A and B are shown apart, each in its own frame.
Chain A
């Protein structure tokens, strides 16, 4: 597993709300702490990355977040501009804006145009060796396949033209499992796990990119060992609770509430374990499955990112 960060391009995805951005931000931070020049890119510029790093907006050209660490948000118009300028050498920079708008329009219809601009920018950063590692906070499970499959799809659609000629080198980067990988994030809940299983299958069938690892985020700690659970069960009877309440001089209902809270914690954890087992058997033993603990204290911001980065470091 130690080779996860030795790859050059990591796409972090998962169902919306499972902590994709947190994991991407933490992976980036961890890599930068290990001395790798790292870029973290948010594909959907919703501002989640700047929220995670508490760093203000993350523009297309990147913002320094920490030593070795830059954060950026994807902007397909800017990507097109950069592309036309550097690669296609099209001399229309002054009029790029209406052109880009027209592209935007075409992109709503033609498959993969917007995605290819996104993938192109990311692969370009890898190819030019501007960074040792590019971590992508990619789209959620519903859209990420289209993104990753864009270079393949564009080959079929665009028969000639600059875009077509560009897809070959991108595919080379994407196909190589030692260079590119998908980090699939889930939480121990029903829908996120189902979507993760589904996506793992679609990645293999429809995209050139390999699954590098699965990360189960927000895993609750095991509350009781087996002997302890038995004691807990015995203590949970109303007569024991009443006795305990008398000993403490507290209202029995309050004591019962403490037990009920623990029961709920046990239930949530047990439901979660069942989902993770389902995930485990679906993705197979060859795919590493990492666990990140539930953060009770703080769910967001740089402090949380540091904690997650540390846990990731321990898991890797």
Chain B
């Protein structure tokens, strides 16, 4: 009974994803650090270019050479580069659309912003030459987050792409990203900024600021304060441009054409951060379109029927070892065979714990939205477009191409827990559920079976 429901379900996810991508022009990949955000963003973009078509641009903030290599590019720069069709052909795919990639060069982008917003070339030059400038751009008001969003805005304004997928920097706090544009606007509007620069502008120390200056002079030395004030006075000349721009960036993030892709693994800490991020998106009324869980263990590991088999291999290792050893060509002693069976059982039960923990975290995460994809552990490194497309296939939910991955089924299970469906007295819904479960078993096994070949 399996074959009927398997493909049907993966096409369901395919439909959902392609529907999402048809409705959106911007996908912002967000999530905790170290979960494969950059790779997921690139995989989504590559797969969209291959299957959906149009001009797709992936913008990454990660200078990792590996991604450029994987895309078949010599390197990534601030301007977009077309991923050659040969790279797709090497992966055995005839792309429907075009894939482009760019990297956000932080300092180059800041310089461009300053040049744009400074009142004249002289001021721009002074700002760029100020020793505090380099430092400021790197760190203040979540500078990197802002620049990533700003670059996204610029590319969207340019209007030459049908879909933009943007990767975001690993923030200390994942939420910084969402607030970066507002922080930038706040920074320039802040009373502190005025307060700090006024006395130096007027050369009259304002009464209200006196205690601050007393302390600051003592602790930091007035030279530093003078340097800072000089810099802020210059910087303030860009205020109007910056504020207007930050507001525009903010509008784009809230636009109906923008969606967020939350990427995480199902380990406790990242999952907790992802959960907070989900809430933060909801609170800010930002659209969370897709949840991607990476490095997920195969669902067979949390299948009780398979676990029973593993347990029996372990407990019956001695009895099974003899007859098996007799048949093996290598002529290994029965003790070694028994030891292998014992290890198999032990390893299964170890990983089963982890897989069950993951499944529970996924259930909790997926409760908030209905489009979630799981990507299995990828053996080795992702070194070419084929690897990215394999991850994309897992996100799209097709089992056959996803090899070592675990797409739709697990998510389905979490979305429609079979227990609940069974509890319904309504007659033949149970049939469906059973069907699903059985499919799970067979599919999973097939799926994990493939792992062996990779």
- Residue numbers of A with Cβ under 8 A of B are 15-18, 44, 46, 48, 84, 88, 90, 92, 95, 98-99, 101-103, 105-106, 108-111, 113, 139-140, 142-143, 157-164, 190-192, 223-224, 227-228, 230-232, 234-236, 240, 243-244, 247-248, 250-251, 253-265, 267-268, 271, 296-297, 299-300
Q: Are B267 and A95 in contact (CB under 8 A)?
A: no
Please classify the interface of chain A as helix (H, G, I), strand (E, B), loop, or mixed, using the class held by over half of its residues: helix
Interface assignment of B139: CB less than 8 Å from any CB of chain A: yes
Chain B residues within an 8 Å CB radius of A230: 330, 332
Chain B residues within an 8 Å CB radius of A234: 328-330
Question: Using a Cβ cutoff of 8 Å, how many contacts connect chains A and B?
Answer: 233
Can you list 22 residue pairs at the A/B interface with Cβ under 8 Å? A17-B32, A17-B35, A46-B173, A84-B219, A101-B192, A102-B216, A105-B190, A105-B193, A106-B216, A161-B221, A163-B221, A243-B324, A244-B313, A253-B442, A253-B446, A255-B313, A257-B448, A258-B309, A259-B344, A261-B448, A262-B344, A263-B451
Chain A residue at minimal CB-CB distance from B321: A231
A-B pairs with lowest CB-CB distance, top 5: A161-B221, A260-B448, A16-B33, A253-B445, A257-B300
Q: Are A260 and B445 in contact (CB under 8 A)?
A: yes
Interface assignment of B228: CB less than 8 Å from any CB of chain A: yes
Q: Are A161 and B347 in contact (CB under 8 A)?
A: no
Q: Are A17 and B270 in contact (CB under 8 A)?
A: yes
Q: Are A235 and B340 in contact (CB under 8 A)?
A: yes
Task: Assess A265 versus B347: contact at CB under 8 Å? Given A159-B223, A192-B34, A297-B353.
Answer: yes
Q: Are A16 and B32 in contact (CB under 8 A)?
A: yes
Chain A residue at minimal CB-CB distance from B381: A190
Task: Assess A247 versus B323: contact at CB under 8 Å? Given A231-B328, A254-B445, A265-B351.
Answer: yes
Given contacts A108-B140, A261-B351, 16 further A-B pairs with CB under 8 A are A44-B172, A95-B211, A108-B187, A109-B232, A234-B330, A250-B309, A253-B445, A254-B309, A254-B445, A255-B313, A257-B444, A260-B445, A261-B301, A264-B298, A264-B351, A296-B354
Interface assignment of B303: CB less than 8 Å from any CB of chain A: yes
Which of the listed residues B190, B218, B220 has the most CB atoms from chain A within 10 Å of its own CB? B220
Chain A residue at minimal CB-CB distance from B312: A248
- Interface residues of B toward A: which range? 35 or more
Shortest distance between the CB of A119 and any CB in chain B (Å): 15
Chain B residues within an 8 Å CB radius of A139: 172
A262–B313 Cα distance when bound, in Å, is 13
A300–B268 Cα distance when bound, in Å, is 8
Interface assignment of B28: CB less than 8 Å from any CB of chain A: no
Interface assignment of B336: CB less than 8 Å from any CB of chain A: yes
Shortest distance between the CB of A234 and any CB in chain B (Å): 5
Shortest distance between the CB of B33 and any CB in chain A (Å): 4
Shortest distance between the CB of A107 and any CB in chain B (Å): 9
Q: Are A248 and B340 in contact (CB under 8 A)?
A: no
From B196, B219, B305, B323, give the contact of A88 (CB < 8 A). Answer: B219
Interface assignment of B125: CB less than 8 Å from any CB of chain A: no
Interface assignment of B217: CB less than 8 Å from any CB of chain A: yes
A157–B340 Cα distance when bound, in Å, is 63
A223–B316 Cα distance when bound, in Å, is 19
Q: Are A160 and B231 in contact (CB under 8 A)?
A: no
A111–B215 Cα distance when bound, in Å, is 19
Chain B residues within an 8 Å CB radius of A271: 379-380
Shortest distance between the CB of B317 and any CB in chain A (Å): 11
Flag B212-253 by CB within 8 Å of A: 1 or 0 each.
Answer: 101111111101110010011000000000000000000000
From A109, A231, A232, give the contact of B228 (CB < 8 A). Answer: A109
A271–B382 Cα distance when bound, in Å, is 12
A72–B259 Cα distance when bound, in Å, is 38
Chain A residues within an 8 Å CB radius of B192: 101-102, 105
Which of the listed residues B190, B225, B310, B340 has the most CB atoms from chain A within 10 Å of its own CB? B340
A44–B170 Cα distance when bound, in Å, is 15
Interface assignment of B404: CB less than 8 Å from any CB of chain A: yes
From B212, B225, B312, give the contact of A98 (CB < 8 A). Answer: B212
Interface assignment of B286: CB less than 8 Å from any CB of chain A: no
Chain A residues within an 8 Å CB radius of B330: 230-231, 234
Chain A residues within an 8 Å CB radius of B34: 15-18, 191-192
Chain A residues within an 8 Å CB radius of B267: 17, 299
A240–B325 Cα distance when bound, in Å, is 11
Task: Assess A232 versus B340: contact at CB under 8 Å? Given A18-B34, A108-B141, A250-B312.
Answer: yes
Q: Are B309 and A264 in contact (CB under 8 A)?
A: no
Shortest distance between the CB of A177 and any CB in chain B (Å): 28
